[in-house]
Chain A
Amino acid sequence: MKKLNFLTAFIVITSAALILNSCSKNDSPSTPPATLTLYDTLGGTTLVADAITGTMQQQGYLTIRNIIDSTIFIIAADTRINGHFISLLGEIADGNFIGFVNLSDKLSTFVAVATGAQDYTYTGLSMANAHNPATNSRMNGKATSSDFDAFEDDLTQGAAKNGVQSTDPAFIHLAAIVESLRSVIVQQ
């Protein structure tokens, strides 16, 4: 009986810990990697004060978020693709501020994870499902190759606004990651 109680307690505690940890991010930086990832070259896990949220964030994440935020501004004023990002301009839905902050957070986290961040978890849809109107009601039509070209163009401008030129090795690496997603995002 004692064995059974111990087993039950173990299952309860372990499961609770797993559930509570599933959504956590950047609580504590992971140990430095043996080989440098793109995320490390963008600033890595060094914790710095984030004036925008009033929290501590990793420098790599902040570098990425600055580029993403600039890109979002460019996209929002770009008539080639801003029709795909209308909810950026939403103020409140279901009592929550959505739109800009939401997109900024999700895109930044996605890129951070794609570049090698260990302490962030992207919880959105897969790129294939996110861009398929059949699996994501928020996708108002399939993205075309020219939409993707426009996105890459805006990303390049967003990076340049943050002093990262298109010839920078880090940007070339990042652009290659983005380009590798073309086949799953462009679905027509």
Chain B
Amino acid sequence: MTKKAIRKTVIISLSTLAFLFIVLCVHIYIVTRPKPIDQYSRVMARIDINQQISQADADKIQTWLYEEKGVDHVLVNAKTKIVVFTFFPIKTSGDKIVSDFKAALPYKNATRYVPTEAEMQSGCPMSSPSTDKLTAFIKSII
């Protein structure tokens, strides 16, 4: 193989790698770019009741929440006094639901639990942002 042919092969190989890297960057951007809220977006929220409730109270809370516009699914745990629900952010907001909840039902001490930023960074093993070092690196530069 002549020096010229080797040089050409190296150039083609490097160009190919550069091209593939660009394709990978574009692909990662498309896959991981922020998605706008749409009709299918769902968010989970939690209300801490902060007072004793019976199962009958829990059932009433569940019924009330299901009647709220934009609420998707509800679970009330009477034992832990925690209400968990998902909602469609295109139709309502968590704060509005909690505000309406406190106005309509006798749970004035109820609070919406919103995690801090620090808690969000260490809050779930399966939600690890990126598992692939190359992907993480590329995401950091795009």
Binding site for B on A (CB under 8 A): 4, 8, 11-12, 15-16, 19-20, 23, 52-54, 69, 72-74, 76-79, 82, 84-91, 93-103, 106-107, 110, 123-125, 130-131, 136-140
Contacts and interface: CB of A to CB of B under 8 A. Distances in A.
Interface in B11-25: 12, 16, 19-20, 23-24
Given A16-B23, A86-B120, A110 B46 contact: no
Interface string B60-92: 000000000000010111001011101001000
Interface residues of B, number: 50
A87 B43 contact: no
Given A4-B12, A88-B124, A137-B122, A99 B75 contact: no
A138 B128 contact: yes
B34 A20 contact: no
Main SS of chain B's interface residues?
mixed
B114 A100 contact: no
A117 B121 CA distance: 31
Contact of A89 (B12, B44, B73, B126): B44
Contact of B20 (A16, A79, A86): A16
Contacts of B124: 84-88, 103, 138
Contacts of A11: 16
B80 A53 contact: no
A100 B77 CA distance: 18
B42 interface: yes
B115 A90 contact: yes
Which 5 A-B pairs have CB atoms at the shortest separation, nearest pair first?
A95-B34, A86-B123, A87-B123, A100-B44, A77-B77
B31 interface: yes
B12 A99 contact: no
A76 B35 contact: no
28 contacts: A16-B20, A16-B23, A19-B24, A69-B73, A76-B82, A77-B46, A77-B83, A77-B84, A85-B124, A86-B115, A86-B119, A86-B122, A87-B123, A89-B113, A90-B120, A91-B89, A96-B32, A97-B37, A98-B127, A99-B44, A99-B127, A100-B86, A102-B127, A130-B125, A136-B128, A138-B124, A139-B125, A140-B123
Contacts of A15: 16, 20
B128 A124 contact: yes
A77 B113 CA distance: 11
A52 B72 CA distance: 10
